[in-house]
Each structure stands twice: as C-alpha cells, then as structure tokens.
Amino acid sequence: MKIIRTKDYKDMSRKAANIISAQVILKPDSVLGLATGSTPIGTYSQLAEWNQKGDCDFSHVSTYNLDEYRGLTHSDPQSYHYFMRVNFFDKINIDLANTHVPDGANPDAQAACSHYDQIVREAGYPDLQLLGIGRNGHIGFNEPDDHFSKGTHCVDLTESTIEANSRLFEKKEDVPRQAYTMGVQTIMYARMVLILASGPEKAQAVYDMCYGPIAPSCPASILQLHQNCIVMADEAALSKCPAAE
C-alpha cells in the first residue's frame, strides 16, 4: 500500500484526477472501475474540466461501477446510474454504451449479479479501480462480515450505511435496504486500486484499513494484500495514522 497524504479534499481530488488521467493517457482504452458517494465528486469534476479542455480523452474508455441500490430504476435521481450521468458521464466525451452499472432495476438478484460478473470478466477487469471507504470500512457495498465476498452479490445494507446515506434522501425510510455490489475478490482483480478518503469521520476506517488486521470485519483491510494500491487521503482522514505517512 502506498499512502499519499494530501492537504485537504481539493488537493486529494486533484491528485486522484492526475492518476486517473495518466492512466487514460497511457492506455486510451482503459477499463476503469468507478465509485459513487460524496468522495469522488471532486475527482470527477476535475477530470471533466480536463476533458473539456481536450487534455483527457474518454472516447475509448469503458467503465464498470461498483454498485447500485436494488429496486431503483435507472432514471431515479437516487440511483447510481443517475449519479454517474449527472456527476461524470454527461460532462465527458465517453460513449454511454461503454459505461456499466449493476442493474438495480432487475428484481432477479441472481441474474443481475451473474450478468454483471460476466461483463466485468469479459472486459478483463479494471486497469484502475477507484474506491471510497465507508465509515465502517466497507468498499463498494461490501459491509463488515465474517468472510470476504467474491463476485457480484446482493447485500443487506447495515444500519450505519443506511444512516450515513440517509443524508442524500428526504427521509431515512427512503434509503433502499439492499444493493447489488461487486465483490471484494473482483475488486482485488483490478490492476491498480486508488482508494480515497477525506474528513475526520473516515479516520478510524482508514487506520483499520492500513494498520489493522486483515479481516472481513474491515473489508478494506484486504487491500493491504493488493500489489498496487494507493491510499489517497487528506490530513483529517489520516489523523489516526502515524505522522510519517
């Protein structure tokens, strides 16, 4: 794991965008694994700005998102399909046919998840997987558990995730209770992982990810075993980690 300490959210977003941009310049047909949540929004805005200036071309890139709420249509403003359009895809020159998000609108969890595994496998897995981290150490919607998950599967969201995500819904009862998520094993197949964290509420999860035991009680801790994982975090998120980082 390489830990990069940034001053603040803006600095983190710009540096993360630099790494993704370099990936796309070096390999124009990169397969990118993408994430939703508040954390990557600044990175997406920076990439969109560079794209509009002609400095970062997404026309040959394909993308695979980590997860989607079960039961939301693609046009639902709370869906991750919608989030990705508004925050990224509609601002860059990507071909929407090359963007993929698990199909939360398909009530058949088994069919939706195995189809997603198949297309991610056929794409050869991400060259670069962008991740956020939950306050409970989750990656994607892989919540703390007694085992690490493998492929895409349907999960019951934990109370802490429902609580954290309720800020984006009118009321807590509106937060879907289930989601389809790429599994931890699939995330580990990415050739590079870039995990972002900002703010003091992520400090314990970042410490556990980097220095805790490698255990499914903190799903992100498995990244200690990844051969090319970059943790990009601001001062506040690294406040529980040794100062040398």
Which of 132/176 has CB closer to ligand PGA? Answer: 132
- CB closer to ligand PGA, 14 vs 60: 14
Cα–Cα distance measured from residue 24 to residue 22, given in angstroms and rounded to the nearest whole number: 5
Q: Least separation, in Å, of the C-beta of 232 and ligand PGA?
A: 13
- For residue 43, the number of C-alpha atoms closer than 13 Å in the C-beta half-sphere is 27
Q: Which residue, 37 or 183, is less far from ligand PGA as judged by CB? A: 37
DSSP 88-100: TGGGS---GGGEE
Q: Which residue's Cβ has the minimum distance to ligand PGA?
A: 37
CA 159, distance to chain mean position in Å, is 20
Catalytic residues: 67, 136, 138, 143
Smallest separation (angstroms) from ligand PGA to the CB of 6: 15
CB atoms < 10 A from the CB of 19, how many?
A: 16
User: Which residues form the interface with ligand PGA (CB under 6 A)?
Assistant: 37-39, 132-134
At residue 199, φ and ψ (nearest 5 deg) are 100, 150
The distance of closest approach from Cβ of residue 38 to ligand PGA in the complex, given in angstroms and rounded to an integer, is 4
Q: Closest distance between ligand PGA and the C-beta of residue 39, in Å? A: 3
**Are 237 and 203 within 8 A, CB to CB?**
yes
How many Cα atoms sit within 13 Å of 14 on the Cβ side? Answer: 6
Q: Check residue 126 and report its DSSP letter.
A: -
61's CB contacts (< 8 A; 6+ apart) are 24, 28, 29, 30, 31, 32, 94, 98
- Residue whose tokens read 């040398």: 244
Closer CB to ligand PGA, 37 or 102, in the complex: 37
Q: Which is nearer to ligand PGA, 33 or 98 (CB)?
A: 33
CB of 89 to ligand PGA, least distance (A): 18
User: Pick from 120, 117, 107: which is nearest to 73 by CA?
Assistant: 107
